[in-house]
Copies of this chain bind each other. A is one copy, B any other.
């Protein structure tokens, strides 16, 4: 028995999310189908976490146990020839049995893309949130600084979130831009359901001058006093990397 770890990239547009769901096709389902087809056996795949419907990934990490003796390059290339064009294994390796894609993870890097432009951009439409107005990037950067550190993120999770504790540590929130495209990189040790998208929703409110940067501090320290922001749409979000 060996434990195989895959790094998987996908365009989430056509999927109900990472995890298998009764209401549609998931990335996990397509991956498990490809593994079954390649190895002749069903293998349950365990991921570093879930991504919501429509969210993309460049570096989702997952593992499975197998009796197969296929070399890692054959796993990578064999799966890629069986996966649809919008999912691809980027890397495969064999690890020891004490590695777990979820429990061994020490952190994650997400990227959220915002297109701040008067008109929509067809070529960027599937991977960025279009905001028709100019955003005040300096105000957004001031607001972003409040997120860094360990805080109670209970104001930044959706109602369906089942996490036992809401304390999380954010390592960095970097905001950069190239012309109209604003790129928000969020790195943290762990995330609640919809947390990045609610953080970005708040930052965009600040960028639009709908709320002051200090609202982030209020949401973190006195969550009941301030209205949480809307959740930014899924298609602007991408799981870039999982750290171990």
Contacts and interface: CB of A to CB of B under 8 A. Distances in A.
Contacts of A86: 122, 125
Interface of A: 9-11, 56, 58, 76-77, 80, 85-91, 119-123, 125, 127, 238
Nearest to A89: B119
Copies in the complex: 2
Contact of A10 (B10, B56, B122): B122
A88 B58 contact: no
A9 B87 CA distance: 27
Contacts of A89: 119
Contacts of A238: 123
B85 A122 contact: yes
B121 A88 contact: yes
A87 to B, nearest CB: 6
A17 to B, nearest CB: 15
Contacts of A76: 119
A123 B80 contact: no
A120 B10 CA distance: 10
Contact of A56 (B88, B90, B123): B123
B85 A123 contact: no
Contacts of A77: 119
Contacts of A10: 122-123
Contacts of A85: 120, 122, 125
Contacts of A88: 119-122
A9 B80 CA distance: 32
A127 B120 contact: no
A29 to B, nearest CB: 16
A146 B127 CA distance: 37
Contact of A11 (B11, B90, B122): B122
Contact of A122 (B9, B119, B122, B125): B9
